[in-house]
Structure 1
Amino acid sequence: MRLSISEMAKLSGVSVRTLRYYDQIGLLCPEISENSGYRWYGKTDVERMQQILFYRELEFSLKEIAAILSDPQYDKQEALRRQRHLLQLKRMRLDRLLKLLEANLKGERTMEFAGFDRTEYETARQRYAEEAEKRWGATEAWRESQAREQNRTQTVQERLTEEMNDIFRRFAALRETDPASEKAQAVVRDWQAWIRVNHYPCTREILKGLGEMYTADSRFRENLERFGSGTAAFMAAAIAAYTR
């Protein structure tokens, strides 16, 4: 297996800019060709990327992840089992949300709120995070990270909000253009990747449903229109073109 940085970005759902940053901090370093200077990712890099995303799912900082993955006693199989469990819980929640979304799109009224309940998933995520902290919490990297990030939750939320709004602004800037254009489709890919990394596995089916909801649901529509009149409709059209 040999992947370019763009191929790795497409495979993992992580942006090229993020991959370059991971390389800079030594978290995920591809092989660099002596002749061309190109970066190439192999099978080991792909597997390491999966583990990075798993711990990102647990809301670990990049420095914490680096400390964990560099531990010679790191148990990859156990990490995969935990990842599977978390994804199963997420899938159950997403299935409920999709069912609710489909009912709303059909005009059906429902009193179902279970899809919005993250309790089971958050309980498991917190348990795994606590176990990891117990295991690696004595390392210097971990202590430095914790001391520096005591207010990480608020800081992370602010960063995520700004990243999300930046993508919305990019959609808004293109709203007078063809939603099927390469520029518009690139923003859709970035939006899907952002959701995957920061929230949940965003398949084309889920993305398609979200796109429909951006115009069908007044709450989403009003929020997107803050970035410019027609943003919601353009975003929905761009996603529709992407998911055909």
Structure 2
Amino acid sequence: MKISEVAKLSGVTVRTLHYYDEIGLLKPSDTTEAGYRVYSNKDLETLQQILFFRELDFPLNEIKEIMINPNYNKNEALNKHKELLIEKRKRIDGLIALINKTIKRDNIMSFKEFDNSKIEENKRKYSEEVKNRWGNTDAYKEYEKKTSSYDKNSWTTINEEMIEILKEFADNSNEDPNSHIVQSLVEKWRAYITSNFYNCTKEILSGLGLMYIGDERFKENIDKYGEGTAEFMAKAIEIYCAPHGSEK
């Protein structure tokens, strides 16, 4: 299937599929002579697994780490996904039943149906289990080691530093992304990540730049400091990391 057909079938945008390819999460099995992506049935199965993980709020970088692990067990993961989704369905069924009773004016003052703690706790446990079993990259291990010692004050300082740098990107968004001042900001951002989380190589930084515009949660958070900041930041990182040109 061509990329437009996959987008129509899955509900995932063409831009997102491009992004999944660029970060190595979902690469098409083939390309046409004109350079257009072509996806096989196996590729579609992989996309389905990615969407299951996304349904459970796994970040894309963690999904990639998990799925490239040679010990990754698809059926085991799917069974766990099913368990968690069944819990979600039970909660939704409970809320629907409560709404119906309220419409009938049964005057039932019940709030247990709103309780999402069990689902969140099971998601947390599953996330930890998955990371322990399949998320074993050096960057993740370094991240775990560094952040394990951070207390509340440490996180406050780290977050304040992050906000300061993002505001600098926003304040300089009218500059040429290739300018010295902007490229210095990229270097500052890279040093911030390396100092606080893990060794941010150019390869990792390039992937992060793509994530800032490909993942709506990242884009929305960065754009809080100025509309278009995420796009500007991603472009500056692209120049800094000097990646190959984009594919069709």
For normalisation by structure 2, the TM-score amounts to 0.52
Letter in 2 for 1:159: R
Number of aligned residue pairs: give it.
159
> Match for 2:141 among 134, 140, 143?
143
| Partner in structure 1 of residue 207 of structure 2 | none
> Match for 1:12 among 10, 13, 21?
10
Distance (whole Å) between structure 1 residues aligned to residue 114 and residue 42 of structure 2: 36
| 1:122 matches 2:180 | no
The worse-fitting range, judged by mean Cα deviation, of 99-108 and 46-55 is: 99-108
Letter in 1 for 2:92: L
Q: How far 1:107 moved relative to its partner? A: 6.4
> Match for 2:91 among 90, 93, 116?
93
| Partner in structure 1 of residue 81 of structure 2 | 83
| Partner in structure 1 of residue 217 of structure 2 | 159
Percent identical residues: 46
Distance (whole Å) between structure 2 residues aligned to residue 96 and residue 161 of structure 1: 34
| Partner in structure 2 of residue 50 of structure 1 | 48
Letter in 1 for 2:217: R
Distance (whole Å) between structure 2 residues aligned to residue 145 and residue 23 of structure 1: 25
| 1:133 matches 2:124 | no
Q: Gaps (5+ residues) in structure 2?
A: 163-211, 222-248
For normalisation by structure 1, the TM-score amounts to 0.53
* Cα distance change of structure 1 residues 107 and 45 upon mapping to structure 2, 3 Å threshold: farther
CA RMSD of aligned residues (A): 3.6
Distance (whole Å) between structure 2 residues aligned to residue 106 and residue 11 of structure 1: 40
Q: Deviations over 1:80-138 (max 9, x none)?
A: 11011011111111112233344556666442323321122112111111111222454
Q: Deviations over 1:2-51 (max 9, x none)?
A: 3x323323433322221111111111112443334332222111211122
| Partner in structure 1 of residue 64 of structure 2 | 66
Letter in 1 for 2:42: T
SS in 2 for 1:94: helix
Letter in 2 for 1:59: D
Q: How far 1:63 moved relative to its partner? A: 1.9
SS in 2 for 1:30: coil
Q: Gaps (5+ residues) in structure 1?
A: 164-244
Q: How far 1:160 moved relative to its partner? A: 7.5
Give yes or no for contact 2:91–2:113 (8 Å, CA) kept in 1: yes
SS in 2 for 1:133: helix
Greater Rg by CA: 2
